[in-house]
Amino acid sequence: MATKLIAPRTGEGVEELTVTHWIKAVGDTVDEMESILEIETDKVITEFPSPVAGTLLRIDVPAGETVRVGESMGLVGEPGESTDEEDPSTSAVEAVAAPVQAQSSDQAGEATAVQEDIKKKPASEETEKSEITGGKAAFLSPLVRKMLAEHELDPEQISGTGSGGRITRQDVEAYLASTPKEAPSAPQLKKVADAAQLTAAPKAAPVPTDLPGQLIPHTSTRRQIAAHMVDSVLTSPRVLTVMEVDMTKVLTHRRANKAKYAEANVNLTLTAYFVAALAKALVEHRVVNATWTDEGIFTYNDVNLGMAVALGEGGLIVPVIKQAQNLSLMGLAAAINDLADRARNKRLKPDDVRGGTFTLTNHGTAGSLFAMPIINQPQLGILGTGAMQKRAVVVTDEYGNDSIAIRPMVYLSYVFDHRAVDGESGDNFLMDVKKILENWSD
């Protein structure tokens, strides 16, 4: 019997994946648990192993398209087997395989596992939801089926540009764009207007056809970043507060301990101090380490700190240091080294980028002094650290005498959701972070 390649649930709340690359082509043979395609979720690319040995008979979701959890991405079976959805032999057996983190071939075998948490829906329910009449129905990807059902479209009216006349997502979008639409209601118009105002520049500017240049297509990661940022801006009213921190005692401690940490193969970076200060302050300010809900503010027991890691032209990713409040400076530094290294080498696992309760971003690496970072939903705040500069500042000694001294200074930019955090609460939290750094001690 042919076996469907079912899109796995890679984590709580994940309902949709993107197929980024098919390692195998239709007609290729594949061994059991051999990687057959790559999928992306939360900007993490992982390999998906075939649950059975056989031949790739059909690709349901082409590279670059999305698929919902539990839907078929393709079909593996014996050469000559039917690929018709209505044929019982092609749907009688369905297997679910867990994604394997993209890595070296010897590591991939160890990371392979079978995921069993996706429950199959009754065949009658699946048939009802995906029922589309017409001869083209058997050759539609799950995404295209969903689009046709949502817009109540007949596939026979749409010309397919895919292989063998297959209808693609772009074909449906082109058809919708060329079809007159009903006038939207007043609330819909307002929502569209609000979104357009926030994203006017990219949406209002078509590709210039009369000027020389090149179009850089959006990657799946870039689209996810864009959608997440717009959603955050539309979701929460943001407030920015900035404070300046004297890093003298932090640098003194780092100079005294960097060699000792290096002996343990740990690079003691300034990020470790910022994370440690945040973890301590967030324990004391529970309303900051929280999420807004319609019923109330949900505060978290653990401090799971997201750490933004730049990937160059590939955008950025935010791996999470779990239970940061329980880690020593050495433990935090080691976790930061590990996550940053795996992020840049595309070896993060889906769980590494989930469950964050607050985020730290270091925009100062390129020289920026302070910024207004965007909150990583559904969190209530994000802290940005600027470039450290030596500046002349007024210092007061223990006797109350003022003098001018040269000190290493850093701006901390804290953006918070004003629905849950008031100005005084936000400033008190940031002041505590400042005090911890300025009075650093083991």
From the CB of residue 250, how many other CB atoms can be counted at a distance below 10 Å? 24
Active-site hit among 422, 427, 432, 442: 422
| Gap between the Cα atoms of 359 and 361, Å rounded | 7
What are the helix (H) ranges across 156-204?
169-178, 186-198, 200-204
β-strands 93-96, 3-6 pairing: parallel
Beta bridge partners of 178: none
Residue with tokens 């717009």: 230
Please confirm, yes or no, whether 422 is among the known catalytic residues: yes
| Gap between the Cα atoms of 357 and 382, Å rounded | 10
What are the helix (H) ranges across 76-185?
88-91, 105-111, 123-130, 142-150, 169-178
The 3-state secondary structure of 66-96, one letter per residue:
EEECCCEEEEEECCCCCCCCCCHHHHCEEEE
Q: How far apart are the first and last CA of the chain?
A: 64
β-strands 44-49, 35-41 pairing: antiparallel
Angle CA(86)–CA(88)–CA(92) in degrees, nearest 5? 125
The one-letter code for the residue type at 420 is A
Please confirm, yes or no, whether 285 is among the known catalytic residues: no
- In 232-315, beta strands by DSSP E: 238-246, 290-292, 297-299, 305-307, 309-310
Q: Are 383 and 416 in contact (CB under 8 A)?
A: no
Query: Which residues, 6+ apart, have CB-to-CB distance to 395 below 8 Å?
Result: 402, 403, 404, 405, 407
Could you tell me the two tokens for 30? 């594949």
Contacts of 421-424 with C-beta under 8 Å, sequence gap 24+, read 421/239, 421/287, 421/288, 421/380, 421/381, 423/239, 423/241
Rg (CA), the chain: 26
Active-site hit among 418, 427, 432, 442: 418
Q: Are 385 and 412 in contact (CB under 8 A)?
A: yes
Stated length of the chain: 442
User: Which residues are marked as active site?
Assistant: 418, 422
